[in-house]
Amino acid sequence: MLIFVAGIILVVVKCYLIENQKMTKVHILKFPLMLTGSGVAGKNYILPEGTTLYLDQAFPEGFVRYKLYVNVEGVDLPSETLNDPTMIDPITAYPVGNLELKKLLSEYPMTKDELASILKSGLLSKDEIKELLSEYSK
């Protein structure tokens, strides 16, 4: 009888743990995103295709916050304690549009794969792609 009760308790505890286990949700970028904010205004940076973004929180204002993990090698970056741990200074990532792509092509060392991925994203119209390619094929 004691073994039976212990078995039931183990099953209940296991079900509770499985039900309350927080699953990590991720998004793997299918195309590059532009980055702006935190002092990088006016400069072009790309978050590459294949980058894994970890879901943090969706906001009623219409944006979703993701976490990005970066391995830093070859330099010791000192950490500091925030006075207000709720203070977050995020950068913004958004799809590459026609105007941004023109600027990237003229200023950013973009690879053929990055360009192909942006063009395949479906965020630019066929007319915008034709215009862009004819402009840069001259």
Burial of 119 (0-12, 13-18, 19+ CB in 10 A): middle
How far is 1 from 137, CA to CA, in rounded Å? 82
Tell how strand 26-28 and strand 52-58 pair up: antiparallel
pTM above 0.75, yes or no: no
**Mean pLDDT, contiguous 10-residue spans, the chain (138 residues):** 70 66 86 77 79 92 91 90 82 86 78 84 85 74
3-state class of 1 per DSSP? coil
**Residue 27: per-residue pLDDT:** 93
**Extents of the domains making up the chain:** 23-71+89-136
**Residue 21: per-residue pLDDT:** 65
Cβ atoms of 54 and 69 closer than 8 Å? yes
In DSSP notation, 41-86 reads TTS-EEE-TT-EEEEEEE-TTS-EEEE------SS-------SSTT
**Residue 131: per-residue pLDDT:** 83
**Residue 40: per-residue pLDDT:** 55
